Amino acid sequence: MITEAARLNEYGKYYYVELVWRGRPYRVQIFFPKLQKPKRQDIAKQAGKIYPGARIISYVEASRSPDLPMLFAIDYF
């Protein structure tokens, strides 16, 4: 019988990111666990883990959308 439970507290911000990878546009959302706005290099680093060599077109703070793929920037600290 399990007597403990873990809860994920989302303390941070979501960003809507538009990028180009292999000539095709993609839209994803990335969760950053800090309240300060990340730099473009930080966005590119996290997006590059899934889309290597991707070019970031734009990124803006947004609310969570269940329609877009989600990336969690866990090692952003």
Residues 32-76: tens digit of each pLDDT: 888 899 999 999 999 999 999 999 999 999 998 888 888 788 765
Euclidean distance between CA atoms 77 and 69, whole angstroms: 22
Q: Give 5-12 contacts, CB < 8 A, sequence gap 24+.
A: 11/35
At 26-37, the pLDDT tens digits run 999 999 888 899
Look up the pTM and report it: 0.77
Cα separation values, 44 from 1, 18, 28, Å: 43, 11, 12
